């Protein structure tokens, strides 16, 4: 059963470029599901002519809810025109926002996009939380942050800054065995994760990798709970802006958090 539906409006590491699966990776089940002959590249455009206005997206969202019994509708956004883009998503009926800041990874992206586009994750989160609060959307629209957040303390800080949840990718991949060979797009992943070659896929022990991922997530939550208790909380969602400070003046301004030194930041 489908648990949620989301529009992918952007990705922090490759904003505005759409998606491109090389032909040598379009095989078997992927080819069948996407309806593209094996060996042909699967190119997903960054925009669609039938989805251009708020009304278009709202109509599509309503139809999805009608067909699925009301599952949540989300928008994944690259952190660029943050307030404008979130405002669009709210008008289109979003139940949740996934905001992807600069610092996140991808299987393949040109360096010029990866390193020079998108607002870094921490100030992007601060701006998004501030905007949602101003719009009165707090409590009704969930804010999920992602982009370079890999460790339990990263997750704690994000929650303290106002994120409702954190999406992880790189750390999850490493938990299941990724060795960061940085060759996802070549179809030659040595760990057997990002490849369709049968001889390489055999290297991935699915049950063992799933267990490793579960332990990583469980251990992360356990450490977050330790920090929550230290802050006087009995629930991870009780983390708040009062729990966080920085000695870096620039970070205090960028993140909207308290400066830990003397005087104004």
Distance CA 221, CA 118 (A): 29
> 9, 25 in Cβ contact below 8 A?
no
Q: DSSP letter at 51?
A: B
> 143, 99 in Cβ contact below 8 A?
yes
User: Across residues 59-72, what is the average pLDDT?
Assistant: 95
Burial profile 115-154: b = 16 or more Cβ within 10 angstroms, e = fewer: eebbbbbbbbbbbbbebbeeeebeeebbbbbbbbbbebeb
Distance CA 167, CA 152 (A): 12
Torsion of CA 113, 163, 264, 103, to 10 degrees: -20
Please enumerate in sequence order all residues whose Cβ is within 8 A of that of 82, keeping only pairs 6 or more positions apart, or say none: 99, 119, 124, 127, 128, 131
Is residue 77 within a helix (H) or strand (E), and if so which, with residue range?
strand 73-78
Torsions phi, psi for 18 (to 5 deg): 70, -155
For 116, the token pair is 């020079």
User: What is the structure's pLDDT at 113?
Assistant: 73
Distance CA 243, CA 198 (A): 49
User: What is the structure's pLDDT at 106?
Assistant: 64
Q: Where do we find the tokens 């104004």? A: 264
Torsions phi, psi for 121 (to 5 deg): -60, -45
The answer on pLDDT for 75 being more than 80 is: yes
Q: Across all residues in the chain, what is the average pLDDT? A: 92
Burial profile 13-38: b = 16 or more Cβ within 10 angstroms, e = fewer: bbbebeeebeebbbeeeebeeeebee
The answer on pLDDT for 37 being more than 80 is: yes
Distance CA 142, CA 79 (A): 16
pTM of the full structure: 0.90
User: Helix 82-91 crosses helix 54-68 at what angle (to 10 degrees)?
Assistant: 50
- Domains by residue range for the chain, with CATH: 5-167+239-258 (3.20.20.70)
Q: How confident is the model at residue 43 (pLDDT cuts 50, 70, 90)?
A: confident
Quick: pLDDT tens for 120-160: 999 999 999 999 999 999 999 999 999 999 999 999 999 99
Please enumerate in sequence order all residues whose Cβ is within 8 A of that of 20, keeping only pairs 6 or more positions apart, or say none: 41, 42, 43, 44, 108
């Amino acid at each position: 059963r489908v648990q949620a539906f989301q529009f992918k409006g952007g990705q922090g590491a490759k904003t505005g470029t759409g998606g491109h699966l090389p032909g040598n990776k379009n095989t078997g089940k992927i080819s069948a599901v996407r309806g593209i002959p094996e060996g042909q590249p699967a190119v997903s455009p960054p925009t669609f002519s039938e989805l251009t206005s708020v009304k278009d997206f709202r109509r599509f969202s309503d139809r999805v809810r009608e067909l699925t019994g009301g599952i949540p509708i989300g928008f994944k956004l690259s952190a660029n025109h943050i307030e404008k883009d979130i405002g669009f998503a709210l008008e289109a009926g979003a139940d949740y926002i996934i905001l992807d800041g600069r610092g996140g990874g991808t299987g393949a992206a040109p360096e010029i996009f990866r390193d020079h586009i998108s607002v870094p994750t921490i100030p992007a989160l601060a701006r998004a939380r501030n905007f949602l609060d101003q719009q009165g959307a707090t409590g009704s629209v969930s804010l999920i942050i992602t982009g370079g957040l890999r460790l339990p303390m990263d997750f704690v800080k994000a929650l303290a800054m106002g994120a409702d949840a954190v999406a992880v990718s790189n750390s999850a991949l490493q938990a299941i065995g990724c060795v960061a060979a940085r060759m996802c797009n070549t179809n030659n992943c040595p760990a057997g994760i990002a490849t369709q070659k049968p001889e390489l896929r055999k290297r991935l022990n699915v049950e063992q990798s799933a267990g490793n991922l579960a332990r990583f997530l469980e251990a992360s939550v356990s450490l977050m709970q330790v920090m929550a208790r230290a802050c006087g909380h009995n629930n991870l969602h009780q983390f708040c802006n009062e729990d966080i400070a920085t000695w870096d003046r620039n970070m205090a301004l960028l993140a909207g958090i308290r400066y830990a030194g003397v005087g104004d930041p």
